[in-house]
Amino acid sequence: MRLYDSLTRELQEVTPITPGHVAMYACGPTVYRYAHLGNLRSFMLYDLIRRALQYEGFEVEEVMNITDVGHMTDESSTEAVDKMQLAMEDEGLAPLEIAEKYTTAVLEDADALGIRRADRYPKATEHIHEMIDLTETLIERGHAYVVDNGSVYYDVASFQGYGKLSGNTLDKLREGHRDLETDPRKRHPADFALWKAAGPGRLMKWPSPWGDGFPGWHIECSAMSMKYLGERFDIHTGGTDLRFPHHEDEIAQSEGAVGHPVVSIWVHAGHLRQSGQKIAKSTGNVVLVRDLVERGLDPLGFRWLCFQTQYRSEMDFTWDAMAAADQRVRQLRRHMKTWAPSASALGAAAEGYERRFREALANDLHLPGVVALINDLDHTADVPGDEKYRLLAAWDAVLGLDLEREAMSGWEPTEEMRSLMAERDEARGQKDYASSDRIRDQLTAMGLEVMDTPEGTRVRPRDPS
């Protein structure tokens, strides 16, 4: 599978450092408000990359951070009030209550959109120690300096590759900062905080070798990605707005600390716009998952809507397009119900569709191609209905559209079937194909269609009525 790497600006083959095992880090939510569909489109990207890699037989380990210590609206001033603290004051909740409330909310919204949970969700507030350690390492290696109020800044001029991700040069950055108020203690206006001294009234603060304070925003992702995935890992994802400064600074921190590249491929999700405007709280056009539900739309329809645009392109959200996507997913589910499954193998035409599906995924996760392929498959007379069913049921491991919902409605495998399926998956895991075939025959004799999917054995009645 090839993905577009934002750093080299080229397609790169995913070749995991540990063969067969892909380690991936995704920048997660800042939990002081609800995630909007623009945020969730970025989170869906890691889910789709993971599902596509699993379809190709890779194991994928996924870490997503939870930013539960607010980052400053103005990096240069210690007095600026951060967003987390504003939310606490607005809602009358303690810091951990705010974080808890919105962490639960964002995970539930992600569930509703079929975004599978990461293996780990490390919280910034639980990794202050690691961030302090990393900051100390950067000071020792000459990449950071302490100023008299107890803040620590990264010295951007000390890191040769600064700007390589975003294309920002230090001169351009100096120019860009000219009209902004900046801490006069900084050596270069683009120097960013690794640790900030706690100003008066600051609720979330921790002791450090430089006095009470709190971490800068970027350091958490360096500290937590390397803690859980090591000093070299395969894929790092995030929204395109994180390229600068967040990911540029993460590269400077991580590579500055370990002395070599850490991430093999940087993947960024494009912006979501609404009727031409960026979706943001400041423009007042925020759409939440609950807004979809209130309009009677299936949140999974938003997946289909997203599939129509290449993940790294800007995408426009309109309610008409959302409604059409919702209708299309429901229609596909109805079609699935009419396509009677059978136990036969795929014919040559269906095999061709399967090959094209894999090719589209491997080509930088080209989901617009998959949408076209599904529309084509839906109508073609070359593939019999039962084979269409088998293809779409298997592809749904990547698509996550719950395409079998109608066909399977009102039917659940019995306890006996479930234990046979589990037994068969275990036999397959141990490459005991004789047992796995025997169990398949048992299930078939019970009147079931048996399908092998990346998630193991699936069954459905051969006569769904």
Contact positions vs Zn ion (CB under 5 A): 27, 221
Q: How far is the CB of 160 from Zn ion (least distance, A)?
A: 22
Closer residue to Zn ion, CB minimum distance, 72 or 221: 221
Q: How far is the CB of 27 from Zn ion (least distance, A)?
A: 3
Give the span between the Cα atoms of 53 and 365, in whole angstroms.
10
User: Which two structure tokens, joined as six digits, stand for 298?
Assistant: 């299936």
Measured on CA atoms in the order 46, 50, 52, 58, is the torsion positive or negative?
Answer: positive
Closer residue to Zn ion, CB minimum distance, 7 or 27: 27
User: Which two structure tokens, joined as six digits, stand for 269?
Assistant: 């999700």
Q: How far is the CB of 372 from Zn ion (least distance, A)?
A: 34
Q: Phi first, then psi: give them for residue 37, nearest 5 degrees.
A: -60, -25
Helix ranges restricted to H, 308-384: 319-338, 348-362, 367-379
Give the span between the Cα atoms of 350 and 188, in whole angstroms.
60
Closer residue to Zn ion, CB minimum distance, 224 or 322: 224
Closer residue to Zn ion, CB minimum distance, 33 or 268: 268
Q: How far is the CB of 397 from Zn ion (least distance, A)?
A: 28
Q: How far is the CB of 134 from Zn ion (least distance, A)?
A: 14
Closer residue to Zn ion, CB minimum distance, 186 or 236: 236
Q: How far is the CB of 220 from Zn ion (least distance, A)?
A: 7
Give the span between the Cα atoms of 421 and 443, in whole angstroms.
8
The H or E element that residue 91 is part of is: helix 83-91
Q: How far is the CB of 236 from Zn ion (least distance, A)?
A: 8
Closer residue to Zn ion, CB minimum distance, 23 or 398: 23
Closer residue to Zn ion, CB minimum distance, 219 or 360: 219
Q: How far is the CB of 67 from Zn ion (least distance, A)?
A: 7
Closer residue to Zn ion, CB minimum distance, 107 or 221: 221
Strand ranges (E), 129-173: 144-146, 152-154
Cα–Cα distances in angstroms (integers) from residue 462 to residues 159, 197, 386, 417, 451, in the given order: 63, 67, 10, 14, 11
Task: Output DSSP code: residue 364.
Answer: T
Provide the Cα torsion 453, 459, 462, 464; round to 10°.
Answer: -110
Give the span between the Cα atoms of 34 and 87, in whole angstroms.
11
**Sequential DSSP letters for 215-230:** E-STHHHHHHHHHHH-
